[in-house]
Chain A
């Protein structure tokens, strides 16, 4: 799957399927600090991302970076 990270904007490729929680653990990110976004909506923590998915991991802490 393609994962778009912000601040600065960059992309990484990871093998799916993978749950959102597993993705954030792999990226060493706290769920409270980010939103996972796909096609203009939020992907819940228990969702499974497919190998072909494109998601954005967006920081929500003002001034924060991912």
Chain B
């Protein structure tokens, strides 16, 4: 295999581009694709303060590395979910990455700061763990960004993530989710601006970027995610991609170019119904936001099991009114 740029020995093929790359030109291609996404969708201004949602996995560390290298002021936020050894290992990867580069990593711990861990919270709320995890992280990232005065929240969603989510939402015509599945969500109604600079890179490329940059990320899978629906969608799309390279890219970017605008009125209608959560003040369409409901159920179940007593609802709500994290 020869590099498409320099004709030297290639280390990786990118089939949807019908191209092979050496180390130097693969890394340059990754940077170029991220810069192109940032420009194409007006994700970031050079003076923006960005808060990167960091899990310790390949995508979040890759995007943090790419933005820092490009000169953006980017702090990280890690949420400890209390998923046993997996959380310990992922926190270690996030800390080592930040320490080695002199970057600021803010940490929130679900058990210490809110009184429950994700596995028990999901059980108490009778939610699928991935659902409870997603709503928890979205809430805490939003809150930390608003309280910390950040201009934008950056997430490591890549092309495979976006194509798989789009596939799942289209299969069931979740039009409200389709209306929000964009690479940029603007700041409005109490929500911070959110951007996904990796949407032009597949996850094999983000993994390769980390390997070639010497980034130590957590390879271990989340024990709660195994067999989830999202993974099934990725596998189905990869079956198609194997015989028709570029399908995932065309699917997602075709949606953005030709279909996303059709769902915009649904997103607008959702925003009309937003009000402040009675528990934490976050924007929500219900009296209590989803995170406050999760916290209430999780802490009630925990206290009930530990003390055998009912918990006062007001006390539960006040327990998570404090700051999200030092410096946030």
Contacts and interface: CB of A to CB of B under 8 A. Distances in A.
Contacts of B214: 40
9 contacts: A6-B219, A7-B221, A33-B238, A35-B207, A41-B212, A43-B11, A45-B13, A60-B208, A61-B160
A45 B222 CA distance: 28
Name the interface size band of chain B: 35 or more
Interface stretch (B115-123, B224-232, B275-283): B224-232
Contacts of A22: none
A65 interface: yes
Nearest to B15: A32
B225 A63 contact: yes
Interface in A5-36: 6-7, 30-33, 35
A32 B238 contact: yes
Contacts, number: 82
B231 A61 contact: yes
Interface of B: 1, 9-13, 15, 20, 23, 57-59, 160-161, 203-204, 206-208, 211-212, 214, 219-222, 225-226, 228, 230-231, 234-235, 238, 241-242
Interface string A36-52: 01001111111000000
Contact of B242 (A32, A40, A58, A65): A32
B228 A44 contact: no
Given A63-B221, A63-B222, A64-B231, A44 B207 contact: no
Interface residues of A, number: 23
Contacts of B203: 60-62
Nearest to B55: A62
Interface of A: 6-7, 30-33, 35, 37, 40-46, 58-65
Contacts of A41: 11, 23, 211-212
A43 B242 CA distance: 20
B64 to A, nearest CB: 16
Given A32-B15, A63-B226, A63-B230, A46 B1 contact: yes
A65 B226 contact: yes
Contacts of B228: 63
Contacts of B13: 31, 44-45
B53 to A, nearest CB: 14
Contacts of B9: 44
Contacts of A59: 219, 221
Contact of A44 (B1, B222, B225, B226): B1
B208 A32 contact: no
Contact of B211 (A37, A46, A63): A37
Contacts of A31: 13
Nearest to A58: B219
A44 B231 contact: no
